[in-house]
């Protein structure tokens, strides 16, 4: 590790450009006969992006400065906006996750027929989504962050609205309207920051590092906090702003759902980590008890709803509502262990959710139904498919030895350090997770063979090869979590150091993270 890369190459920009160029290239391979070439182009671009992400990880010095490989050029000097991209420990991990999942999705859906529109269009949208999300993770200018954050909606909107299920139009617009409301709130907050920065520095700036040093009056900070929080809470999604997700997930293709829940939703938490906490620390501490309570409600509420679903994709969506509860809890209890746990959790959740959507997606494409009651006994016909699904399910319910456990345990432990009651309530989530996952496995995979399931075929070698790496990663991260944690920890510590709540030294029974906490 920590071999320095040549700085003449703008690595952080390159990694965004590669999938974007891939997307453009794919649109030129428009003829039906070029479909194969388009797939290889898309897959190649996603692999190249993954390779660049790995190179970036090798070149990253965890103990070095917070932002590395910073590339910056002025864009709108009048507004203090510059096109600047750089990588931190947190964004590096998110970039790795994004590139892994994008390549996995393209490989796993190799043979999947696109219901409407063209394969080329689908791939171009997936790649442009990847590029935009990577841009969000790497942006070091708040304005650029905002523009990309909003632009991200477009490919998702079309991915759902054109390639989705029977209620795709409704789901796409619901997603869009929700997101636009959040975006509007963020825009207002952005303008607020603009005004404040002008007053504080004499000239406006959107540079995230500079803004972290700015102090504001308490009411202003809290007002601005709400703008960003709404946008991120909708994206994350935090209860009660979650109701777009089940519709969107249910109407998406498995690949879109993977990118949506595995990657896009993480942008919400990422925003909390890189904007709410560093830029608005006092307001974050002030509102932390509220966020923690919402997160706790999300954990339990999402899990109970998952138990009650009859549709597989909606079930996965609600499990994610529960998991995002854990993740947001990990961010807002302000302990080092929980924050590391939350970031690790995002990676583990991305990998296992991708596996669930892709494997179940393959199953659903054969049976033609997402309804759980249409299944039963699948493992008799397709044992490998059932086995892959089980590993993903086990990581989802945080079985020790798989990645899901590390994230969840660290979040719970960190929460417990801060407040015994919060920790214990959140821990009941592990029982609920076992109920919704294993009941699903029982109804779909085992038991007597249901009519219609007999025509289900085993996953192909190609598909197994696409999803197999996810299994390997889940095991690897379960037994060697330091591979990710060593990248993340310094960045998490820096983030936490800027929050006045500090680390919890002594536990208290009820103490939520109020400002007076040591």
Site for another protein in 169-188 (CB under 8 A): 169-170, 172-174, 176-178
H or E segment and range at residue 447: none
Residue in the structure block whose two tokens are 């959107």: 206
Of 51 and 83, the one with the shorter C-beta distance to another protein is: 83
Part of the chain binding another protein (CB under 8 A), chosen from 65-73, 122-130, 348-356, 482-490: 482-490
How far apart are alpha carbons 90 and 257 in whole angstroms? 23
Of 54 and 413, the one with the shorter C-beta distance to another protein is: 413
Least Å from the CB of residue 55 to another protein: 25
Q: Is the peptide bond before 240 cis (omega within 30 degrees of 0)?
A: yes
Pattern 75-94, another protein, x by CB under 8 A: xx-xx---------------
The footprint of another protein on residues 27-56 (CB under 8 A) is none
The footprint of another protein on residues 304-343 (CB under 8 A) is 304-305, 307-309, 335-337, 340-341
DSSP calls for 474-515: HHHHHH-THHHHHHHHHHHHHHHHTSTT---SS-BSS----T
Least Å from the CB of residue 86 to another protein: 22
How far apart are alpha carbons 370 and 444 in whole angstroms? 11
Of 59 and 481, the one with the shorter C-beta distance to another protein is: 481
Total of chain residues touching another protein, rule CB under 8 A: 76
How far apart are alpha carbons 408 and 429 in whole angstroms? 10
Residue in the structure block whose two tokens are 């085992």: 446
Of 221 and 265, the one with the shorter C-beta distance to another protein is: 265
Least Å from the CB of residue 383 to another protein: 8
Part of the chain binding another protein (CB under 8 A), chosen from 5-13, 14-22, 193-201, 300-308: 300-308
Of 37 and 435, the one with the shorter C-beta distance to another protein is: 435
Within a 10 A sphere around the Cβ of 153, how many other Cβ atoms?
A: 21
H or E segment and range at residue 385: helix 383-396
Of 208 and 305, the one with the shorter C-beta distance to another protein is: 305
Least Å from the CB of residue 6 to another protein: 30
Least Å from the CB of residue 359 to another protein: 17
Which of 358-390 are b and which e, b meaning 16 or more Cβ less than 10 Å from the residue's Cβ?
Answer: bbbbbbbebbeebebebbbbbbbbbebbbebbb
Of 254 and 377, the one with the shorter C-beta distance to another protein is: 377
Does the footprint of another protein cover residue 243 (CB under 8 A)? yes
Of 45 and 394, the one with the shorter C-beta distance to another protein is: 394
Pattern 144-173, another protein, x by CB under 8 A: -------x--x--xx--xx----xxxx-xx
Part of the chain binding another protein (CB under 8 A), chosen from 46-54, 56-64, 204-212, 480-488: 480-488
Part of the chain binding another protein (CB under 8 A), chosen from 10-18, 45-53, 215-223, 374-382: 374-382
Using a 10 angstrom Cβ sphere, with 0-12 exposed, 13-18 middle and 19 or more buried, the burial of residue 89 is buried
Using a 10 angstrom Cβ sphere, with 0-12 exposed, 13-18 middle and 19 or more buried, the burial of residue 180 is middle
Q: Is 397 within 8 Å of 434 (Cβ atoms)?
A: yes
Least Å from the CB of residue 506 to another protein: 9
The footprint of another protein on residues 404-463 (CB under 8 A) is 405-406, 409-410, 412-413, 416-417, 423-424, 427-428, 430-431, 434-435, 438-439, 441-442, 446-449
List C-alpha distances in Å: 458 to 4, 362, 386, 463. Answer: 45, 10, 9, 10
Q: Is 135 within 8 Å of 98 (Cβ atoms)?
A: no
Task: Choose which of 394, 453, 456, 470 interacts with another protein (CB under 8 A).
Answer: 394
Least Å from the CB of residue 242 to another protein: 8
Of 36 and 116, the one with the shorter C-beta distance to another protein is: 116
Helix, strand, coil % over all residues of the chain, rounded to 5: 75, 5, 20
In this structure, is the dihedral angle defined by the CA atoms of residues 461, 463, 464 and 466, taken in order, positive or negative?
Answer: positive
The footprint of another protein on residues 84-143 (CB under 8 A) is none
Of 47 and 297, the one with the shorter C-beta distance to another protein is: 297
Task: Choose which of 121, 481, 490, 511 interacts with another protein (CB under 8 A).
Answer: 481
How far apart are alpha carbons 511 and 396 in whole angstroms? 29
């Amino acid at each position: 590790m920590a071999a320095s890369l040549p700085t003449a190459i703008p690595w952080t920009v390159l990694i965004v450009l590669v999938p974007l160029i891939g997307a453009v290239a794919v649109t030129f391979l428009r003829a039906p006969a070029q479909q194969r070439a388009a797939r290889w182009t898309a897959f190649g671009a996603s692999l190249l992006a993954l390779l660049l992400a790995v190179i970036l990880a090798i070149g990253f010095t965890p103990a070095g400065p917070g932002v590395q490989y910073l590339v910056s050029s002025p864009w709108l000097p009048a507004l203090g906006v510059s096109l600047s991209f750089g990588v931190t420990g947190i964004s590096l991990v998110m970039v790795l996750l994004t590139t892994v999942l994008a390549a996995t999705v393209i490989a796993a859906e190799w043979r999947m027929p696109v219901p409407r529109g063209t394969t080329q269009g689908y791939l171009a949208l997936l790649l442009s989504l990847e590029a935009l999300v990577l841009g969000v993770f790497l942006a070091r200018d708040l304005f650029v962050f905002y523009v990309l954050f909003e632009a991200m909606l477009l490919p998702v909107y079309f991915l759902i609205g054109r390639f989705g299920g029977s209620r795709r139009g409704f789901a796409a617009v619901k997603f869009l309207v929700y997101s636009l409301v959040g975006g509007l709130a963020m825009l207002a907050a952005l303008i607020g920051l603009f005004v404040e920065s002008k007053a504080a520095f004499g000239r406006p700036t959107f540079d995230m590092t500079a803004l972290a040093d700015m102090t504001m009056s308490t009411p202003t900070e809290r007002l601005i906090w709400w703008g960003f929080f709404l946008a991120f809470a909708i994206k994350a999604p935090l209860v009660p702003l979650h109701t777009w997700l089940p519709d969107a997930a249910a109407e998406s293709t498995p690949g879109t759902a993977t990118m949506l829940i595995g990657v896009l939703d993480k942008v919400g938490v990422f925003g909390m980590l890189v904007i709410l906490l560093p830029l608005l620390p006092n307001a974050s501490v002030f509102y932390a008890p509220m966020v923690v309570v919402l997160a706790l409600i999300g954990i339990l509420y999402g899990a109970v709803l998952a138990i009650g679903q009859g549709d597989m994709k909606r079930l996965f969506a609600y499990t994610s509502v529960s998991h995002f509860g854990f993740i947001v809890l990990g961010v807002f209890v302000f302990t080092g262990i929980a924050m590391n746990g939350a970031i690790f959790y995002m990676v583990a959740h991305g990998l296992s959710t991708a596996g669930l959507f892709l494997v179940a997606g393959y199953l659903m494409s054969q049976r033609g139904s997402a309804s759980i009651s249409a299944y039963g006994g699948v493992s008799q016909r397709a044992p490998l498919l059932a086995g892959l699904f089980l590993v993903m399910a086990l990581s989802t319910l945080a079985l020790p030895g798989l990645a899901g456990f590390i994230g969840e345990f660290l979040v719970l432990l960190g929460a417990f350090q801060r407040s015994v009651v919060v920790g214990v309530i959140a821990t009941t989530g592990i029982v609920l997770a076992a109920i919704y996952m294993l009941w699903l496995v029982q109804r779909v995979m085992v038991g007597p063979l249901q009519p219609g399931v007999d025509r289900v075929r085993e996953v192909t070698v190609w598909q197994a090869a696409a999803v197999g790496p996810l299994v390997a990663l889940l095991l690897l991260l379960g037994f060697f979590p330091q591979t990710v944690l060593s990248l993340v920890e310094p960045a998490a510590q820096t983030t936490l150091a800027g929050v006045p709540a500090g680390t919890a030294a002594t536990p208290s029974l009820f103490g939520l993270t109020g400002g007076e906490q040591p």
